[in-house]
Structure 1
Amino acid sequence: MLSRSSYVNTINVKVASYSSVLQLGDSCIINGLSRALAVQREEEQDYGNEGNFAAYSVFSESIPFTPITENFCSQTHHLNPIIKVNHVNVIGFSSSAVLHVGNSQTISMEARVKHIRQLLPRQR
């Protein structure tokens, strides 16, 4: 893991919702996953079958991760291995978002949203 230290004088978060995390300190693995159905209707009706994520392929399709095959050389030297921030001000974060102060080894975040618009038939 990286050997840098993070110093934040103050953090002000107004809203953190829907499985979001405020992580202070180092972590090995961060995995975030958010799934949502966003239904927009002209007329209020309940069809009763919209809450099933399995009914929509967007939630089960695999995400193609292309492996990095390029060779590269990297060398870093931190003369002052400290990150200093005076103030962090966040209005809000949501849906499995992560506000993290510290070092991480592995981070994986995924968000999938199915937008559904149900419009009334148009008369001609």
Structure 2
Amino acid sequence: MFQRTSKVDKINVNIISFASLLQLGDSCIINGLSRALAVQREAEIEFGDEGNFAAYRVFSEPIPFQPIYEVFSFIPHNPMPLIKVQNIDIIGVSSSSILHVGNSKHISMESRVKHIRQLLPEGHEQDM
């Protein structure tokens, strides 16, 4: 792993949520996982099975990671092994995301969201 020092004068983050991370300093392994069900309804009717992650394939199917076949050569050259940042201003870090200042070896992040819309039949819409 590269050996560099990170220097940040100021970090301003408003919100960090849902399996997200603000990491200052070096890390070897970071794993993040976020799963969410978002249900939008026109009527207050609950069927009882909406909260079961196993009922939806999106949460159980493997994520297809494509192999990288590109050949590249890399020769690190760090005459001054210092990462200097004056100011970081972030509105939000969410859903298995990371704001990381430092060195990392292995990072794995995943976020899966199932959106469900339960609409009333045509002509049965409720008055707003």
TM-score (norm 1): 0.90
CA distance in 1, matches of 2:70, 2:85: 34
Cα deviation for residue 113 of structure 1 reads 0.6
Amino acid of the structure 2 residue aligned with 1:17: S
Secondary structure of residue in 1 paired with 2:58 = helix
Match of 1:119 in 2: 119
Q: CA RMSD in A?
A: 1.6
Secondary structure of residue in 2 paired with 1:33 = strand
CA distance in 2, matches of 1:74, 1:96: 29
CA distance in 2, matches of 1:65, 1:21: 23
Amino acid of the structure 2 residue aligned with 1:121: P
Structure 2 unaligned segments of length 5 or more: list them: 124-128
- Within 5 A, what are the aligned runs for 1:94-109? 94-109=94-109
- 1:51 and 2:72 equivalent? no
Match of 1:2 in 2: 2
TM-score (norm 2): 0.88
Cα deviation for residue 78 of structure 1 reads 1.5
Match of 2:73 in 1: 73
Q: How many residues align?
A: 124
Kept in 1, the 8 Å contact 2:19–2:33? The answer is no
Match of 1:62 in 2: 62
Ranges of 4+ aligned residues in structure 1 off by more than 6 Å: none
Identity rate, percent: 65
Secondary structure of residue in 2 paired with 1:66 = coil
Structure 1 unaligned segments of length 5 or more: list them: none
Secondary structure of residue in 1 paired with 2:54 = helix
